[in-house]
Structure 1
Amino acid sequence: MAVVGFDLGFQNCYIAVVKSGGIETVANEFTDRCTPAVVSFGPKNRFVGNAAKNQAITNPASTVCNFKRLHGRLFEDAVVQAERANLPYDLAPLCDGRVSAKIPSFFTDSERRSVLDAAKIAGLNCLRLMNDTSAVALSYGIYKQDLPDPEEKPRIVFFVDMGHSAFQVSACAFNKGKLKVLSTAFDPYLGGRDFDQRLVEHFCAEFKSKYKLDVKSRVRALLRLQQECEKLKKLMSSNSTDIPLNIECFMDDKDVSGKMNRYWSQAKFEELCADLIERVTVPLVAALEQAQVQLQDINAVEIVGGATRIPAVKAQISKFFRRDVSTTLNADEAVARGCALQCAMLSPAFKVRDFCITDVIPFPISLSWSSEADEAKSCHEIFGKNHPSPSSKVITFHRNKPFVLEAFYSDPGSLPFPEAKIGEYKVQNVQAQDNAEKSKVKVKVQVNASGIMDVTSATMVMRVSAADADGDLGENTIEEVSTQDGLDEADGQVRDKQFKSVIFSTDHSQTQGQMIQQDQQEKERNNAKNAVEENVYFYRHKLEGPYQTFLSTNEQQKFFELLNLTETWLYEEGADQDKQTYLHKLAEIHKLGMPVKDRYQESVKRPKLFEQLLSKIQRYSTIMEDESYKHIDEPDMEKVRTCVRETHEWMATMRKSQEQLRPEDEPAVHSTQIHKKLQTLLNICEEIVSKPKPRVDSPAEESMQAECTVNKSPEDVTMDYNDILQNGKRSSHEGD
């Protein structure tokens, strides 16, 4: 059972898999560990990753990218409309108002649920969602052997992550076997693409004055410039030389060029991005204040994310913390590796070092409930900002009829999302006690490990004795519950209450399955078409070369005609046919081509096998006359003679028959037949001729043994025996 971690980035994705030897980042079909988060829709199939990115210029209207911000948002959302202005494709509202098209720490409940739904549609069993910075902290801390003991002062580390579209900061406290997130802060609208856009604006203005070209009027030209500016930004971060920007046939068949230099243009670049660089400080200040630590208490600052490689960004972070930043983590793969580690910890198939992770809830969550006739509407903050997660609480109500709970974010102004409401939960089947008093209802509210808030259970306590009826029934109470799932037992009879079910349509899952099937069919169709084209070129080349003598003039003319007609058909009416049509065309080519190919291959293999067979016949013929093999029994040697004679006669007959044929005729004997004869000869003869000679003592040894026995008298033999005994006793005494 494999477990993997996904880093779902705005621009790229990384996938890490847990293996017995450790964690490995998976490479795609292009042997690239980074896969673009792009999907392109063709006429009949989809392209994903690198293949889709290659379609971005030629097919921009059907190539979907930069869709991470659209998760869980309505079409009228201001963020969606702002993104829509920069997208090469169009967005359309669905019937429910949503957009048809690893998670950041600032994702709200709706966005997190949207990611889980997407994973379900893709057929993934998502064990949990994990915040980017928490995954980075896990991949940092689990390998550290020098962390302080649990009772000692923790090591404080700040993690700064600037990706392509967002900027996140978290403060974490580390002890041995334990990670606690102290605070998180973010700017969801600051990332590497904002710096790219400043370069795009700069070169748009330069090309307009220099070449009189309005780049923004052409979608494809603007996309090409964006790609080149992104490359230029990356090169500026690591090179001090002049970096040219050259685009051929950019617009109106004009070539354009420009250049930037990290040093002499640094002031210009910082001037272009001055406001962006200043915005880097805001989340750093917020994270520091919320964590309630001083700069001198910080042990390390780790930076990850591709945009942190920009020198101006790195310098701003270093300036704020008054220390050099650390780059011990893989800036691109740290999130995916942390997710894979968390997945391994949750899976029973892997044994991982014990490491406790306590995350935080980024936004405060409140709960309100419908009031009784004699009560005012009640509202309480259940989970505060940076409250430990996962966590749960139990709220006790006194009701005599069903009521509704509404969950929402307490501070809408801090949300990067227009809707503060999380959801409504209706507690049904609530009734009064037998004595007409209100019933005690305990509702459990939970924020799970994925950061999703839910009402997990509701129980009603039924009074069984009059003595238990004492007490105030008009007060609602909230009690803390540990992060472990569970509920304290209540006195009396407890009955589960019903909740209103939310039904999700499975149309998206069915559509995904249909698209996967269609992609596979299109792949098989293209493979069949390519096979036809490859065989046309293959046989045409061979017929002009080694295959030329292995078919008659009429056959050759007929074959060439078929190949030419097939090639013409491929580029005309055969350009878009179904799989079976291409397979039928391929069968027509093979019907004429395979016999020619077989005759050529037989002409190459047959002489070599005949030579091997003749060599073995000659060897066994020599053995039959060799005196050194006289130890073999005559019946066995007769078997060898018979087998050699029959094989030799068969070979002579087949050779003669083959020599009488022309190259274009069907062979008289095939290489498989010769090989079979060779194996039969070896099986019969080799076992017999490999028998070893029986061991025979030489005459000199026999005469020497006889002389020793004859010359010795009985007394000598007795003396020799006594000497042996004496020598044996002497040896035993020396050993003692």
Structure 2
Amino acid sequence: MSVVGIDLGAQSTKIGVARNKGIDIITNEVSNRQTPSLVGFSARSRHIGEAAKTQETSNLKNTIGSLKRLIGRPFDDPDVQLEQRYNTAPIVDVNGLAGVEVNYLGKKEKFSATQLVAMYLTKIKDITSKELRLPVSDVTVSVPAWFTDVQRRAMIDAGDIAGLNVLRLVNDTTATALGYGITKLDLPGPEEKPRRVAFVDIGYSDYTASIVEFRKGELNVKATATDRHFGGRNFDYALTERFADEFKEKYKIDIRTHPKAWSRTLAAAEKLKKILSANPQAPLSIESLMEDVDVKAMVKRDELEEMVRPLLERVTVPLEQALAEAKLTVDDIDHIELVGGCTRVPAIKEALAKFFGKGLSFTLNQDEAIARGCAFCCATLSPVFRVRDFAVHDIVNYPIDFTWEQSPDIPDEDTSLTVFGRGNVMPSTKILTFYRKQPFDLEARYSKPEGLPGKVNPWIGRFSVKGVQADANDDFMICKLKARLNLHGILNVESGYYVEDVEVEEPVPEEGDAMDTDAANGDEQPKKTRKVKKQVRKGDLPIVSGVGGIDAAAKQTLQERENAMYMEDKLVAETDEKKNELEASIYELRDKIDGIYSEFASDEEKEKLRSKLMDTEDWLYEDGEDTTKSVYVAKQDDIRFIAGPIIQRYKEKADAERQAVLKAEEEAAAKRRAELDAKKKAEDEAKKAEEDAKKPEGDAEMKDAPEGEAQGETEEKQ
């Protein structure tokens, strides 16, 4: 079993895994530590991640990004229409939600954003399982703090379709905070003043600021504020707009009318932006951008900052909101941690340092901090690893109301209640009490729709409570409903039950002195009791929930479709592999038949093999350009049938020569060992002789004396 944390970014995704007593960021199939968040389609298969990036420019209308910014969003949402600016593939309506229309397997297909994210997560799962050589199931996935209930449900659905068990959806900055706090051994104790850290995360498409308090073994998110339209891509777009005007005036070309030219300029602008973060100026040069025109430009950092001046003026707004909500000032903040690629921009760092009036911290990896935090989060939820206990207390970002129909028997009853207010700790459970004589419904919705991202429907769900009836005395049934905002940030009414007021007797506590006196005298006085009313659970109430997300039957269908597409992609990849093997075999044998295989084949065999190779090559680039895996395997077998005997002869001779060389090496080694043994023996004998020569002559006389004495004694006895 594996422990995996996925930082699903708008531009790229990082994967953290728990192993080697720590967290590693794993690499993909081309050894990159981050995988492009792109899904592409072609007439033969899908292209996901690195493969999609490779063919993006040549397949713009069938390659889609902005996956996490589209999932769970209605098609008519202004934010969705904004994403069309960053995508060439047409964003369309798929059952009321945002999706994409592409050419796939030779026909027009529509896929919802949930399906696209599921496709991408399947690829991430594949990358991870190949790296770990283990099946991947349990994961945690990062989401923006501004995600609503419907977006979070869509992300869980995408994980289910991809065959992943999402243990937790964790907010980006919360994951960063966990990765920061769980490794710190110097956090203050429970009774001490907490360490307050401001986390500033500015990524490719959005900006989140969180104020977090740390104590030993726990973190508490005090406030979170976001700007959904502030990120690195805004800088790229501003640069591209400037270049579009410059090229139109200088080179008489309009890249706004040419999607491929616009895409290439946008990619070049992104590289230029990164260079300007470290240098005062940088050049741009693109060959044959449009109409065979080569373009060049030079940009200074000051010019870029002036282009995005309105954006830079918004840098401190989320921080001001977060501090106000947390009821803190900049002086209360102990550290400011910056993560996200866009925090490398000097103008942003200067603005943040000026706002706080103190130095900024970069102790976390700016690109990988979220993935590491997600992996830590997964490890704490999984039984596979032992992790230091660390409690995570996140907060509700959008207040949630429950509304219901007024009971005809209670004319002055309130019909709405804010159950989870903004800043409420999450996960959280609340018990709602209703007095009813018949079944009833209640609805959950966000109480301040104006604070939601884009044009999101504030409705969350409808819950029907069944089995409610008046008792024998026509009195109200006391209904208790358990509403829970779980660790994903998703709301459900998990269960319902009814209670009855029952009179029970309980002992009345007496004064200690009197009780001690009676005990000392040995008199046991009867204990006083009193009758009190208590609510006793009597039975369950069935609840029928109507919430967002995909129903079980539709989800099963999508899972089957995803599995089918995955197997099709796998077959295409294996077919391409066999085709490449066949092509490589043709060139290799053509070279070797006149080289190392030449002496092992007759002229007739050579001619037959050359003819076969030529025929196969002609077929490969004509009729065999796109065929099945089995056909390529059959063609390879035909070549092996002719080349096999030749290769076998070569191998036999090579083996014989290798054996001869090994035998010669063994004999030489044995000879060297014998020479060494003889040399050592001679040295030992010479050393012994030298020692004997050094002994004095008296030693030799003394040595013979005992023998003479013994002999004389024997003679006397006789």
TM-score for both structures, normalised by structure 2: 0.81
Distance 2:472 2:437 in 1: 11
Q: Does 1:91 align with 2:91?
A: yes
Residue 256 of structure 1 corresponds to 295
Distance 1:555 1:172 in 2: 77
Distance 1:619 1:525 in 2: 50
Which residues of 2 match residues 8-47 of structure 1 at below 5 A?
Answer: 8-47=8-47
What SS is found at the alignment partner of 2:295? strand
Which residues of 2 match residues 484-523 of structure 1 at below 5 A?
Answer: 490-500=535-545, 503-504=551-552, 505=554, 506-523=556-573
Distance 1:465 1:176 in 2: 45
Residue 454 of structure 1 corresponds to 492
Q: Does 1:435 align with 2:485?
A: no
- Counterpart of 2:360 in structure 1: which amino acid? V
Residue 480 of structure 1 corresponds to none
Shift of 1:86: 3.5
What SS is found at the alignment partner of 2:540? strand
Q: Does 1:234 align with 2:274?
A: yes
Distance 1:348 1:158 in 2: 31
What SS is found at the alignment partner of 2:169? coil
Q: 1:599-630 deviations in whole A, cap 9, x for unaligned?
A: 1222233245357669999999xxxxxxx9xx
Counterpart pick for 1:393 among 417, 425, 430: 430
CA 1:113–1:706: 2 relative to 1, 3 Å: farther
594-603 vs 367-376, greater mean Cα deviation: 367-376
Distance 1:272 1:346 in 2: 46
- Counterpart of 1:520 in structure 2: which amino acid? K
Which residues of 2 match residues 244-643 of structure 1 at below 5 A?
Answer: 244-262=283-301, 266=302, 268-373=303-408, 374-375=410-411, 378-418=415-455, 419-462=457-500, 490-500=535-545, 503-504=551-552, 505=554, 506-609=556-659
Residue 191 of structure 1 corresponds to 231
- Counterpart of 1:412 in structure 2: which amino acid? P
- Counterpart of 1:546 in structure 2: which amino acid? I
CA 1:707–1:462: 2 relative to 1, 3 Å: same
Distance 2:45 2:661 in 1: 54
Distance 1:591 1:387 in 2: 73
- Counterpart of 1:562 in structure 2: which amino acid? K
Shift of 1:91: 2.2
Q: 1:312-347 deviations in whole A, cap 9, x for unaligned?
A: 111111121122211111111000100110111111
Structure 2 runs not aligned, ≥5 long: 100-111, 114-141, 506-533, 671-677, 679-699
Identity of aligned residues (%): 40
Distance 1:497 1:205 in 2: 64
Shift of 1:114: 0.8
CA 1:8–1:609: 2 relative to 1, 3 Å: closer
Cα RMSD of the aligned pairs, angstroms, is 2.7
Shift of 1:711: 3.5
Residue 694 of structure 2 corresponds to none
What SS is found at the alignment partner of 1:199? helix
Shift >6 Å, 4+ stretches: 463-467, 611-620, 703-706, 714-717
Shift of 1:66: 1.4
Is the CA contact (8 Å cut-off) linking 2:72 and 2:97 kept in structure 1?
A: no
Structure 1 runs not aligned, ≥5 long: 468-488, 621-627, 629-699, 718-736
Is the CA contact (8 Å cut-off) linking 2:60 and 2:89 kept in structure 1?
A: yes
Is the CA contact (8 Å cut-off) linking 1:171 and 1:291 kept in structure 2?
A: yes
Shift of 1:465: 8.0
Shift of 1:40: 1.5
Distance 2:34 2:575 in 1: 29
Is the CA contact (8 Å cut-off) linking 1:308 and 1:314 kept in structure 2?
A: yes
- Counterpart of 1:513 in structure 2: which amino acid? N
Residue 58 of structure 1 corresponds to 58
Is the CA contact (8 Å cut-off) linking 1:370 and 1:377 kept in structure 2?
A: no
- Counterpart of 2:421 in structure 1: which amino acid? G
CA 1:709–1:193: 2 relative to 1, 3 Å: farther
What SS is found at the alignment partner of 1:53? helix
Distance 2:217 2:293 in 1: 61
CA 1:421–1:712: 2 relative to 1, 3 Å: farther
Is the CA contact (8 Å cut-off) linking 1:464 and 1:492 kept in structure 2?
A: no
What SS is found at the alignment partner of 2:170? coil
Shift of 1:395: 0.7
Distance 2:664 2:245 in 1: 83
Distance 2:485 2:401 in 1: 12
State the structure with bigger RCO (CA 8 A, min sep 6), 1 or 2.
Answer: 2
- Counterpart of 1:251 in structure 2: which amino acid? M
Is the CA contact (8 Å cut-off) linking 1:433 and 1:462 kept in structure 2?
A: no
Q: 1:147-177 deviations in whole A, cap 9, x for unaligned?
A: 2111011111100101111110000111111
Shift of 1:714: 8.7
Q: 1:522-567 deviations in whole A, cap 9, x for unaligned?
A: 1111111111111110110001212122211121111111100100
Counterpart pick for 2:245 among 192, 205, 210: 205
Residue 111 of structure 1 corresponds to 151
What SS is found at the alignment partner of 1:312? helix
What SS is found at the alignment partner of 1:406? strand
Distance 2:155 2:170 in 1: 11
Distance 1:363 1:238 in 2: 39
Q: 1:15-55 deviations in whole A, cap 9, x for unaligned?
A: 00001421101111111111110112122222222221111
Shift of 1:282: 1.3
- Counterpart of 1:257 in structure 2: which amino acid? K
Shift of 1:254: 0.6
Q: Which has the higher strand share?
A: 2
Is the CA contact (8 Å cut-off) linking 1:103 and 1:130 kept in structure 2?
A: yes
177-186 vs 594-603, greater mean Cα deviation: 594-603
- Counterpart of 1:256 in structure 2: which amino acid? V
Q: 1:562-611 deviations in whole A, cap 9, x for unaligned?
A: 10010000000011110111111000100111211111222233245357
Q: 1:244-271 deviations in whole A, cap 9, x for unaligned?
A: 1000010001100101233xxx1x2222
Structure 1 or 2, whichever has the larger Rg, is 1
Is the CA contact (8 Å cut-off) linking 1:461 and 1:495 kept in structure 2?
A: no
Is the CA contact (8 Å cut-off) linking 1:463 and 1:493 kept in structure 2?
A: no
Q: 1:441-500 deviations in whole A, cap 9, x for unaligned?
A: 001111111111111111112567899xxxxxxxxxxxxxxxxxxxxx941523242324
What SS is found at the alignment partner of 1:58? helix
